[in-house]
Structure 1
């Protein structure tokens, strides 16, 4: 029971800065001189209105003909700026990646936000909806789809920056010097802490075991199929023969590095059927 509660706490944002319930909203709330000065230092003398969200203070304003919300903590530390942007204002790689998605045919595109957050890289959020369902799709500037999150409360608390545990930050600095932080979340199924980072132009997903002092579990990266070892490609071509009607995705694959070795994931596809993922070791044998 204690372990279950531990995971629940993580999933609710244990690593986020002062996330509180939106029931505590207070529009047009007076703020301290410290907060006013912090806003002016960041954005200049722009007309703005304050509200409170839990323990955070949010300034709403218009700048360069765009609507913005800037989040600060109680001490005047800037946390995040959320900017409403037009779809056509998205970087070309983000638009191309979004328009290439096939799993959301029939969904309607809605709002688009640009997020700038303390200690993290800029990301873009495209909201899509179908009936009563709403999803937020997170992309980095290179068009990598970082995550898909159900939009249940139509609030920005989930956008707030995440603070890495010291052990995780140290390991990332040692293994991936110069990395840039994109997203942090606890996977509700695997119970792993997933950290998306940008290393030069490559997007990596680095996973840690929260139950084992944040031990490093794996690092995964999307790669071109042609870059796979020849023995792995041969094994993949043989594997597809065992699944009638399926075709091998010969464009992309996934490389996964773990403390015990490296393996590759390829996908077998067929219209109207779930994809099949097959895992191979570096020598072309199936990963057990």
Structure 2
């Protein structure tokens, strides 16, 4: 009799254990009907969807050839889909741009495809070299939008902040034909530009006859503050390179950016590196005048 009771107790415990495990694995959440319908409409052939909430959004994790996550608001409005893709699935212009970049020898760790409401698709290649990890953001036609340090933040890619009508109009008028590829609002209170809106665009620059990634900055009131973009060494005005050669002998140009300011000024910000000396940054006008 004791053996029988003992056996029943074991069976009961085992059944309870399995039931408990099932509950632990079932971490699904209640999803509004409108949201489920919106997801099914956008991804009609997807099954085995797992829902969770992140940063105020409902996020559907699923597999559709590749692992993906689609972000929605409660009313069923789609905002972003992040897809984990292999390097081979990148558009050819992106692969070509990466393979001729300064990061071409770095180890490729991860590749993401970001589709977001209101802006163009962006591809992010995460690369690492020793203790450095960098995220490289490319447009579909291979323009490097930006390179930033990877922070291993699982929410590093978020739906895009929507621009005001005035911001959109400004960009359309000042940079005709520009494509919006990134929108961020500075949220670090310790930074001078806290609350500013940074808009990355791809704009065809007729002066250099190529598409260029430009960063358009708006202040807290939504007013244009500045626009800046990287400049290749061979695209610098002769007056600029002549001044640097004459006044900064022993230094080489490392990086160069061009700034257009809403205040009406414009200048090049040049980073110079020397032999066994600290790097220096100088502001210089197109006519070669050094600015303070």
Report TM bin, short chain: 0.7 to 0.9
Partner of 2:42: 42
Three-state SS of the structure 1 residue aligned to 2:180 is: strand
Equivalent positions of 1:1-288 (< 5 A) are: 27-54=27-54, 55-63=56-64, 65-98=65-98, 108-128=107-127, 135-141=134-140, 142-155=142-155, 158-187=157-186, 188=188, 189-191=191-193, 192-200=196-204, 201-210=211-220, 213-241=221-249, 244=250, 246-249=251-254, 253-259=256-262, 260-270=264-274, 275-288=279-292
| Equivalent-residue separation in structure 2 for 1:42 and 1:56 (angstroms) | 17
Deviations 1:51-73 (A, max 9, x none): 1214422222222x211111111
Three-state SS of the structure 2 residue aligned to 1:226 is: helix
| Equivalent-residue separation in structure 2 for 1:254 and 1:93 (angstroms) | 24
Relative to structure 1, is the Cα distance of residues 145 and 199 closer, same or farther in structure 2, using a 3 angstrom cutoff? Answer: closer
- Per the TM alignment, residue 97 of structure 1 is displaced from its structure 2 partner at its CA by 4.7
CA contact (8 A) 1:146 1:183 kept: no
| Equivalent-residue separation in structure 1 for 2:97 and 2:280 (angstroms) | 22
- Per the TM alignment, residue 78 of structure 1 is displaced from its structure 2 partner at its CA by 0.9
CA contact (8 A) 1:56 1:72 kept: yes
- Per the TM alignment, residue 47 of structure 1 is displaced from its structure 2 partner at its CA by 1.2
| Equivalent-residue separation in structure 2 for 1:202 and 1:181 (angstroms) | 12
- Per the TM alignment, residue 161 of structure 1 is displaced from its structure 2 partner at its CA by 1.4
CA contact (8 A) 1:138 1:146 kept: yes
Gaps of 5+ in 1: 1-25
- Per the TM alignment, residue 76 of structure 1 is displaced from its structure 2 partner at its CA by 0.7
- Per the TM alignment, residue 230 of structure 1 is displaced from its structure 2 partner at its CA by 2.6
Gaps of 5+ in 2: 1-25, 205-210
CA contact (8 A) 1:50 1:57 kept: no
Relative to structure 1, is the Cα distance of residues 270 and 159 closer, same or farther in structure 2, using a 3 angstrom cutoff? Answer: farther
Larger RCO of the pair (alpha carbons < 8 Å, separation 6+): 1
| Equivalent-residue separation in structure 2 for 1:278 and 1:196 (angstroms) | 24
Relative to structure 1, is the Cα distance of residues 45 and 104 closer, same or farther in structure 2, using a 3 angstrom cutoff? Answer: closer
Three-state SS of the structure 1 residue aligned to 2:45 is: coil
Three-state SS of the structure 1 residue aligned to 2:173 is: helix
| Equivalent-residue separation in structure 1 for 2:36 and 2:197 (angstroms) | 36
- Per the TM alignment, residue 98 of structure 1 is displaced from its structure 2 partner at its CA by 4.4
Three-state SS of the structure 2 residue aligned to 1:283 is: coil
| Matched length | 253
| Equivalent-residue separation in structure 2 for 1:99 and 1:47 (angstroms) | 36
TM-score normalised by structure 2 residue count: 0.73
- Per the TM alignment, residue 181 of structure 1 is displaced from its structure 2 partner at its CA by 1.6
Question: Who wins on radius of gyration, i.e. which is larger?
Answer: 2
Relative to structure 1, is the Cα distance of residues 274 and 59 closer, same or farther in structure 2, using a 3 angstrom cutoff? Answer: farther
